[in-house]
Structure 1
Amino acid sequence: MNSNNYPVAQQLTIPEAIRQAYAHWSAGQAAQAEQLCLRVLQVVPHQPDVLHLLGVMAHAYGKLDLAIEHLRKACLSPTAPAIYNSNLAEMCRQKGLLAEAEQAAHRAVEQEPQLVGAWSNLGIILQESGKFDASLECLQHVVALEPANHQAHNNLANTYKLLGRLDQAQTSYLDALALRPDYAEAHSNLAFLLSDLGRFDEAIVSAEKAIEINPQLADAYSNLTQIEMSRMRYADARRWIEALLAFAPQHAGALTARAQLLIKGEHQEEALTCVRHALTLAPDSANAYNVLGRALQALGQHDEAMLAFDRAIALPGTVAEEASVARASLLMETGNKEEALAAFDRALALFPDSLMVMTARADSKTYRSGDPDIALMEAALEQSIKPAINEQMNLHFALGKAYLDTGNSERAFAHLDQGNALKRATYQFDVVKTGAWMKKIAATFTPELMEKFGNAGAASVRPVFVLGMPRSGTTLVEQILASHSGIHGAGELSALRHAVDRAGAFPDDVAGWKHDDFARIGQDYLSRVANLAPDALRLVDKMPANFLHAGLIPLILSGARIIHCRRDPVDTCLSCYSKLFAGEQLFAYRLDELGAFHLDYQTLMDSLRKVLPPDRFLEVDYENVVDDLEGEARRLIAFVDMPWEDACLNFHQTRRVVRTASVSQVRQPIYATSKGRWRRHAAYLGPLLNALGIRPSASDAP
């Protein structure tokens, strides 16, 4: 007797019970459907149709683990139709189990080659696994089978985008929207593509259109967050991600994006908590592990960061290339240059001709004429289909560096000018307002204020602030100091800015502060750095932008020392202009703005120099350090009141983390080639020289 004819109850056979269960589910009667399914399983424990229905029901109620468990059992039956494997594939994809998802999807298309949904699922799974060529083949097949399927065009566009074929991606998104103008997902995806093309305002409009159509479309909020982050509008980015988390508090992707924002805002501990929460929800998320690695790296937990990057590389997904670069860059930061170069080579082996890898390693190598990287990077920019805007920026800066290395000023500045212009177009900055703000700071710190509150601050001799313009020698000075056994180089800390921001508006509120206010800010700062090398007698905080707070430092930390690093203004600005900074140096991407900012900085420091306590304030010129390393090093060590150690002369051998644009330079002995460097390129620096009021001499020729 066929088991399907066994009665579930006196009045129902199994086939009848299954039909009724599906009918109940279709009618929205979940309880009745589940009751019938359980009765069938009492008679036939592994009945595939019932297990499939239970899986679909569990999925609908957000019980993804239970849904996958039911579908796995259903698909074990040799009679299970292809749609069951296809549904299992999609549920595994949602869980991040991409390898199992791919296997199930392959089984589905082998069983039923005309099952469009299975091909579509397979294409999306391959896309998320980073197998873009295979994904493209699948999704082109889907479009061929169903040319009027708007979802198929959208999915195909996503793969085109990941392959860097941005024009074809845009065409496919527009095809999807032509078929269905109210297709929210396509509006959202088009927004992200427009952002890659540098069309930010259009991108915002498209993403907001997606949310207008579907207010709970998570991807649209995530895309808006990424778009606003890419143009450094972090308040707007926070607004969008918080809006998403308001209705989807357990959305792993949203939590990961929030962690990225927190890292940008230098709230590393909070970022760590956030991304770890994301990983409890999506334990196999390669993107979350990559962000975890960055949070750990920022906190100085380098071994743990390396493990996180390794996990991100090993997991299926689309971030393995980025995580490989992050891993190699971490090795460079920690002083393992040979290992770092080998890691870049391994990354190129995994991702042949990767532009991301080539541009990331540009600072770690010295280019020679004929370097194959140069030709590959030039070719990428000459293609009719341009790379994404961020990739273009990276390429231009890397090629600018390459041509500076090879002595070709004309080609170097052709690329640097383009790279800087692309970057400058992504954000808003008013150099005049910034200059006015610096003048207000200078006016705040009067001799009377300094005398009145000179002893108000927390009395600690541990902090040493190394500050000045970026690229002025701050990293070199910190490295000399940190080579001393009693001095810890803490890198670029945000602790002072956070402590000041917490106290009120700067500098507007300073005039109203009392003794206790200054002391409280100082104690706040000390608490933020207390766990950094607590046994070190001196702690070097090398945040260049702390020059803005240099007048405040003696009032909040009466024992702190300030070292102001100076360098030839044109050399400093040229060095800034040749770097695509990881942090926000908004003044650095136009030569005229660079010059104006430098003049305002000089004016501020000229004012502060008159009021800062001379026994707590030292100025060091980069050129003097180059000419007389020992003399200047001894002067630095004496200033921070520490006994001399010869290790300070061998700073390039000191193994410590360096997280700045100067990471490669401080791994080398002192060299004089960067002194007066600008004169070789004077013909290309007109707007900068004009802003600084400098007339190049006849000998300053390219």
Structure 2
Amino acid sequence: MNNFPIADQITIPDALNRAYAHWNAGQAAEAEHLAMQVLHVIPSQPDALHLLGLMAHAYGKSALAIDYLRRACLLPDVPARYCSNMAEICRQMGLLEEAERAARRAVEREPQLTAGWNNLGIILQECGKLDDSLECLQRVSSFEPDNPEAHNNLGNTYKLLGQLNEAKASYQQALSLHPNYAEAHSNLAFLLCELGQFDEAAVAAQTAIDLNPHLADAYLNLAEIDLSRLRYGDALQRLNALMAFAPQHPGGLAALAQVMLKTERPQDALVYAQQSVRMAPDNPRAHNTLGRALQALNQHKQALESFDTAATLPGTSVEESMTARALLLLEMGDKKAAIEAFDLTQVQFPESIRVAMARTDTKTYRHDDPDISLMESALVRSVKPTLNDQMGLHFALGKAYLDLADSGRAFYHLDKGNAIKRSVVTYDANKTGQWLRSIGATFTPALMNTFRHAGAASERPVFIVGMPRSGTTLIEQILASHADIFGAGELSALRFAVDGSGNFPQNMSGWKADDFARAGRDYLSRVDSLAPNALRVVDKMPANFLYAGLIPLILSDARIIHCRRDPVDTCLSCYSKLFAGEQLFTYEQSELGTFHRDYQALMENLRQVLPADRFIEVDYESVVDDLETQARRLIAFVGLPWDEACLDFHKTRRVVRTASVSQVRQPIYTTSKGRWHCHAANLGPLLAALGIDPSGATNTSTNP
């Protein structure tokens, strides 16, 4: 039957032509009416189904759109563009496998269909099939060399392949053809960020926003640039601007979760990450972000499930998901499972530098370790890794060559890695030193005596303070092995309690007794729920040494353990680590040594005024030389009966998130004592800043 059973008896082809004409003219109701009339006569008519699918998609009815397009594409002789359109809509819905099948069918039916190859290339890109994607998109750019979108899409695949120079050239070609192409400016911004060219990246991202104020990716890229420069407040501002017009954007919600994690607000991060997953349940990056939020909240089983889910979804995040899972297992203390997870990831991604970098703490390197040659090769190949990956590779290789006692090669890489990190952070050693001196001058004997009983009363808090890498994690692990002690890890609760009261230490001058008590109650409110039944809760944030003078005034019964270690060993260990947190003073030897001296001077001031019954100092070297004596001393200091489990601290199963994650899983060893001497030739700036002679003689006036 070719005619409608209506008065004017128009033919089905005429009805379809009119329907498409109405749609193109913006007359949706008329177009839908005619298309539905056609389906009433021929229920499987592909042209009508295709039009209804496009209309449903335009009005945000994605599921209905896919249903129409699936039915339209059932016939073997359906036009290729119908399959291509179906592929693109499936891609937008996250149905990547179905999208790929439809796109391949389109180009098989019509090999010269440029739009079909373009859609297939983008789909393969999102599936992580990057070599195939590159082939498709190169074909598109050869078909249409003056098409800026073709070059932009090609640049995206080059970037994912790590071919950053080619990606940059493609974006620039797109912009030469279309200078006001907002998406290309945005993509170039992301690429420049990965190359460490943050100022240029910010300009490109802002240009994209100026051209298209509703381009979500440009806001995300600008936020990523701010995160790379540790400007968390600026990143939050960018994301809030995005949320103002796209409050349910999955990428925006995931990015907000990442900012919350960076600013140590894991509960807020969890809320945003859960929203992101709800909005995009098939998006692996949303599940990865959820996994990290759950990890930060110690919900490890659920975090593993999120990483597992992410790894099963198509896309370019599989390697990231599997590596994150392995690192979580290592953090949880299951080293065997972590190694197996790293090995499984490497089987799937045999050239993965991400795996090689991530598993450095699981091994002591040997000369024939294949990871060394893999990482070295990545640094010298013509296609350079991203700036972050270059930095990570240098730190990983520095660790490898330290294991191999090859000091020259180790410091070649450590100097390179630290220089890259130092180039992207803002740090002023002079201002920091002035601040530390102002803290020391604030906590006078008069202040301590006046307010010594003002604080909130609780014997539960135990603070472990000191320089990073000074043995704080070891001391916490010993204490946390006691049945009545909970090791809470590195908490920011004290800093938050202090920050809420104004600038520190200037604000101390105006405080009354109630202010000190209020800050103490604030701290307790943040930690009391962590382990309600524990008699002691250990907060081992090393940087709390900054607040050591304040602690007895806000928490009258709290205890403070100051960890000390040989200054050069401490600084060498800092210099050899790429910290997850913001240890901004560690990335240049002179600045590191200067900071250590300023820290020592502060602690010398504070030890004169801290209450003797609430403050002790423990030397790392004494612990490794005589574990039992020092462990018994620690348990006695916190006011609890002895527990033999403290001597088997390495067997205690608990989460450890610090850079010492592997060391505290081992029995006591002494190989780190005096380690710096064999590297003295490479530590000149550090030794000079510390006032230490390379032969080992020290300037005692700066090393109390």
**When the two structures are superposed, what TM-score results if normalisation uses the length of structure 2?**
0.97
CA change 1:472–1:58 in 2 (3 A) is same
Aligned to 1:80: 78
Q: Residue by residue, what CA displacement relative to the aligned partner does 1:489-518 show, whole Å, maximum 9, x if unpaired?
A: 111111212222223222222222222222
**Deviation for aligned residue 1:51:** 2.5
Aligned to 2:701: none
Looking at structure 1, the residues matched to 447 and 59 of structure 2 have their Cα atoms a distance apart, in angstroms, of: 65
**Deviation for aligned residue 1:212:** 1.6
Aligned to 2:318: 320
Looking at structure 1, the residues matched to 601 and 381 of structure 2 have their Cα atoms a distance apart, in angstroms, of: 46
Aligned to 2:395: 397
CA change 1:9–1:320 in 2 (3 A) is farther
The answer as to 2:263 corresponding to 1:286 is: no
- 175, 180, 183: which one aligns with 1:182: 180
Aligned to 1:299: 297
Aligned to 2:17: 19
Aligned to 1:164: 162
CA change 1:501–1:54 in 2 (3 A) is farther
Bigger drift between 130-139 and 66-75 goes to: 66-75
Partners of 1:491 and 1:543 within 8 A in 2: yes
Aligned to 1:329: 327
**Deviation for aligned residue 1:476:** 0.2
Partners of 2:253 and 2:276 within 8 A in 1: yes
**Deviation for aligned residue 1:411:** 0.5
- 47, 50, 71: which one aligns with 2:48: 50
What is the letter of the counterpart of residue 327 of structure 2?
S
Q: Residue by residue, what CA displacement relative to the aligned partner does 1:96-148 show, whole Å, maximum 9, x if unpaired?
A: 11111111111111121111111111111111111111111111111122222
Partners of 1:478 and 1:542 within 8 A in 2: yes
What is the letter of the counterpart of residue 164 of structure 1?
G
Looking at structure 1, the residues matched to 149 and 475 of structure 2 have their Cα atoms a distance apart, in angstroms, of: 57
Looking at structure 2, the residues matched to 35 and 509 of structure 1 have their Cα atoms a distance apart, in angstroms, of: 72
**Deviation for aligned residue 1:79:** 4.6
What is the letter of the counterpart of residue 240 of structure 1?
R
Looking at structure 1, the residues matched to 320 and 7 of structure 2 have their Cα atoms a distance apart, in angstroms, of: 59
Give the 3-state SS of the residue equivalent to 2:613 in structure 1.
helix
- 547, 553, 559: which one aligns with 1:555: 553
Give the 3-state SS of the residue equivalent to 1:539 in structure 2.
strand
**Deviation for aligned residue 1:384:** 2.0
Q: Percent identity?
A: 66
Looking at structure 2, the residues matched to 570 and 363 of structure 1 have their Cα atoms a distance apart, in angstroms, of: 21
**Deviation for aligned residue 1:14:** 3.1
What is the letter of the counterpart of residue 667 of structure 1?
R
Aligned to 1:369: 367
CA change 1:661–1:46 in 2 (3 A) is same
CA change 1:310–1:481 in 2 (3 A) is same
Partners of 2:3 and 2:10 within 8 A in 1: no
Structure 1 segment 629-644 matched on structure 2, within 5 A: 629-644=627-642
Give the 3-state SS of the residue equivalent to 1:467 in structure 2.
strand
Aligned to 1:360: 358
- 261, 264, 267: which one aligns with 1:263: 261
Q: Residue by residue, what CA displacement relative to the aligned partner does 1:448-491 show, whole Å, maximum 9, x if unpaired?
A: 22222222222111111111110000000000001111111111
What is the letter of the counterpart of residue 386 of structure 1?
K
**Deviation for aligned residue 1:206:** 1.3
Bigger drift between 493-502 and 44-53 goes to: 44-53
The answer as to 2:633 corresponding to 1:651 is: no
Looking at structure 1, the residues matched to 273 and 80 of structure 2 have their Cα atoms a distance apart, in angstroms, of: 37
The answer as to 2:614 corresponding to 1:616 is: yes
Give the 3-state SS of the residue equivalent to 1:551 in structure 2.
coil
Aligned to 2:596: 598
Aligned to 1:483: 481
**Deviation for aligned residue 1:379:** 1.2
Aligned to 2:249: 251
**Deviation for aligned residue 1:656:** 0.8
**Deviation for aligned residue 1:77:** 3.7
Partners of 1:7 and 1:13 within 8 A in 2: no
**Deviation for aligned residue 1:546:** 1.1
Aligned to 1:625: 623
- 662, 665, 676: which one aligns with 1:664: 662
Give the 3-state SS of the residue equivalent to 1:540 in structure 2.
strand
Q: Residue by residue, what CA displacement relative to the aligned partner does 1:134-178 show, whole Å, maximum 9, x if unpaired?
A: 111111111122222111111111111111111111111111112
CA change 1:698–1:498 in 2 (3 A) is closer
Q: Residue by residue, what CA displacement relative to the aligned partner does 1:57-112 show, whole Å, maximum 9, x if unpaired?
A: 22223333332232223223445322122111111111211111111111111121
Looking at structure 2, the residues matched to 682 and 517 of structure 1 have their Cα atoms a distance apart, in angstroms, of: 48
**Deviation for aligned residue 1:698:** 8.2
CA change 1:409–1:56 in 2 (3 A) is same
Aligned to 2:509: 511
Looking at structure 2, the residues matched to 558 and 40 of structure 1 have their Cα atoms a distance apart, in angstroms, of: 83
Partners of 1:8 and 1:39 within 8 A in 2: no
- 459, 462, 465: which one aligns with 2:460: 462
Aligned to 2:61: 63
Looking at structure 2, the residues matched to 7 and 593 of structure 1 have their Cα atoms a distance apart, in angstroms, of: 87
What is the letter of the counterpart of residue 548 of structure 2?
A
Looking at structure 1, the residues matched to 27 and 4 of structure 2 have their Cα atoms a distance apart, in angstroms, of: 24
Looking at structure 1, the residues matched to 476 and 526 of structure 2 have their Cα atoms a distance apart, in angstroms, of: 20
**Deviation for aligned residue 1:11:** 5.2
Partners of 2:171 and 2:188 within 8 A in 1: yes
Looking at structure 2, the residues matched to 128 and 317 of structure 1 have their Cα atoms a distance apart, in angstroms, of: 5
Bigger drift between 178-187 and 264-273 goes to: 178-187
- 512, 525, 533: which one aligns with 1:535: 533
CA change 1:116–1:291 in 2 (3 A) is same
Structure 1 segment 544-583 matched on structure 2, within 5 A: 544-583=542-581
**When the two structures are superposed, what TM-score results if normalisation uses the length of structure 1?**
0.97
What is the letter of the counterpart of residue 202 of structure 2?
I
CA change 1:513–1:29 in 2 (3 A) is farther
CA change 1:66–1:499 in 2 (3 A) is farther
Q: Residue by residue, what CA displacement relative to the aligned partner does 1:213-249 show, whole Å, maximum 9, x if unpaired?
A: 1111111111111121112111121111111111111
The answer as to 2:232 corresponding to 1:234 is: yes
What is the letter of the counterpart of residue 590 of structure 1?
E
**Deviation for aligned residue 1:8:** 5.4
Give the 3-state SS of the residue equivalent to 2:659 in structure 1.
coil
Looking at structure 2, the residues matched to 401 and 212 of structure 1 have their Cα atoms a distance apart, in angstroms, of: 45
* Alignment RMSD: 1.6
Bigger drift between 492-501 and 43-52 goes to: 43-52
Aligned to 1:207: 205
Partners of 2:155 and 2:166 within 8 A in 1: yes
What is the letter of the counterpart of residue 227 of structure 2?
M
Looking at structure 2, the residues matched to 449 and 504 of structure 1 have their Cα atoms a distance apart, in angstroms, of: 18
Give the 3-state SS of the residue equivalent to 2:506 in structure 1.
coil
Looking at structure 2, the residues matched to 69 and 510 of structure 1 have their Cα atoms a distance apart, in angstroms, of: 67
Partners of 1:292 and 1:308 within 8 A in 2: yes
Looking at structure 1, the residues matched to 31 and 436 of structure 2 have their Cα atoms a distance apart, in angstroms, of: 71
What is the letter of the counterpart of residue 467 of structure 2?
M
What is the letter of the counterpart of residue 276 of structure 1?
Q
CA change 1:8–1:524 in 2 (3 A) is farther
What is the letter of the counterpart of residue 195 of structure 1?
C
Give the 3-state SS of the residue equivalent to 1:68 in structure 2.
helix
**Deviation for aligned residue 1:34:** 2.7
Give the 3-state SS of the residue equivalent to 1:615 in structure 2.
coil
**Deviation for aligned residue 1:577:** 0.3
CA change 1:8–1:131 in 2 (3 A) is farther
Looking at structure 2, the residues matched to 437 and 278 of structure 1 have their Cα atoms a distance apart, in angstroms, of: 41
Looking at structure 2, the residues matched to 698 and 458 of structure 1 have their Cα atoms a distance apart, in angstroms, of: 45
The answer as to 2:670 corresponding to 1:682 is: no
Partners of 2:258 and 2:289 within 8 A in 1: yes
What is the letter of the counterpart of residue 643 of structure 1?
P
Looking at structure 1, the residues matched to 218 and 519 of structure 2 have their Cα atoms a distance apart, in angstroms, of: 40
